[in-house]
Chains A and B, each alone.
Chain A
Amino acid sequence: MAEGHVVHAYGVAPAVVLDVPEHKVVPPTGIAGTPVRLLALGELAVVVGDLPEEGFGEAAWREHAEDPDWLEPVARGHHEVLQAVAAATDVLPLRLPGIYRDDAELQGLLGGQEEPLTRRLQFVAGHDEWGVHVHLVEDTAEEAPEATSGRDYLMQRKAQVAGRDAAREERQRLLTEAYAGLAQVSTDSVLNRPQDRALSGREDPMLLNSAHLVAKEAQQQFFARADEVSRGLLEPAGMVMEISGPWPPYNFAAPAADGNGAADDPGPTEGR
């Protein structure tokens, strides 16, 4: 690594990728057009790049992390590299910001996690992540007729509030059912906090923001289920579902905490 540079870590892949020509696994360039390379680490290969410290080092992160003009190209570069790697092999995305002084520091930090990361790679192997957003486009609660007296108005107002609460509760029930339906055909699922309007740039509020780890061979089944819950449960209640993907498994990359894994659970409890 050259002087005045930091090592940016993109993701972790199985070490077998080290046996194939590098250009078949990683794209030639990543963030800010910098070269991307593979770093060996036991059973793993780490996808890394060398970035100029000035502009992308710790000071830059401290100063600019909340500035979209700076963050956006970094995030897109990181994502593009992972998309390319995911097309070639299994990969665990590493969280931003992931910059290190040099290869040795990164290898030292990752070394202790080699085993859980290897197990996690096996867990996500042959899967894609799919994102689900549900927006409320039409409030189906009924509007009250015009009130003719103050008393009428208060009664109607009360009924309106009750109606809105009931509609909200009903939507919650439908969303829970929809999510459970999708989770059934997924290997793993997570619920994330819905994005607020200022961030999503949409007028209609987001009611559900979930991610699903779906086996490649179960993909059609997942789409069919999504279509089913969308038509059967959500649309009649004024909600629309949007699916995005395939994503590298960002939401499923972190090794599960002890006793909280599905496929990587060692089985019968032992000293838990």
Chain B
Amino acid sequence: MNVRCRFLVATLAIFALVPGAGRAGGGLKVVATTPDYGALARAIGGDEITLKILAKPTEDPHFVDARPSHIVTLNRADLLIESGADLEIGWLPPLIQGSRNRKVLPGETGRFLGSEGVRLLDVPAVLDRARGDVHAKGNPHFLMNPENSGIVARRLTERFCELDANSCPAYRENLARFTERLEQRILAWTERLAPHKGAQLVTYHNTWKYFAVRFGLRSETFLEPKPGIPPSPPHLGKVIAKMKADGMRVILVEPFQSHKTAQTVAGHTGATVVEVCQFPGGLPGTDDDYFALIDAVVDAIADALGQAAAR
């Protein structure tokens, strides 16, 4: 009895110490599947919205483990923002089913698809699972082209206004500020990467295509043999040969991808492994800030390409 009592007291004490998870905010309850949409929603919504983000920035957005808070959060949401290009297909639908919230069902005003109005790359001509974990609607990592983020921000503002007319002026004001800053930064980013036009990036997954296309780089070589399939020795052998032949010197990896694979390939080719992330918060000092994230990614890639060229 004594033991059980002490256990109970200890448990209660632990719970009492944990601060509330909720973050103060305004009326519209917004949920973003990934932190990049979270950052855009925060930039437009400011303090007018309450924002919750389901996936952590260092988590693979294709696989997110369901926790009770995810279902509760979705249950209370007024608006759910997702990529719309099947990025979250592996984990979001059962969560929504579990949340029993009609407002965020597909087709409702409370469901925002990031991909609408964006021109997707890599749309498969033929759908065939044998080609790997291909996304039927196209490559879903389109926010890595900052211009697409501008498109999504504009549409998001309209949706916020539709759901919360009272705060509409504030949303539009935030959008104007965001767009202005985005245009300035795009000029700066373009200038920073201009010297490396045509340079090839090797990436683990096909995440950086949009980024590469926008800034005049090339992203055609991947450590994965097919999307979602772990690197096999024969494939890596081909990648190493190709990198040596074409003089590719930079490999991009994200926090949730195999650094060991990238380092092994780098060891054979003399390339540099560069840690990047598609999500704000995934690199130090980029929490909740899309601009800080792209700044960090552009700097890291430009530095690595610069050093490679100098060698």
Q: Do A and B interact?
A: no
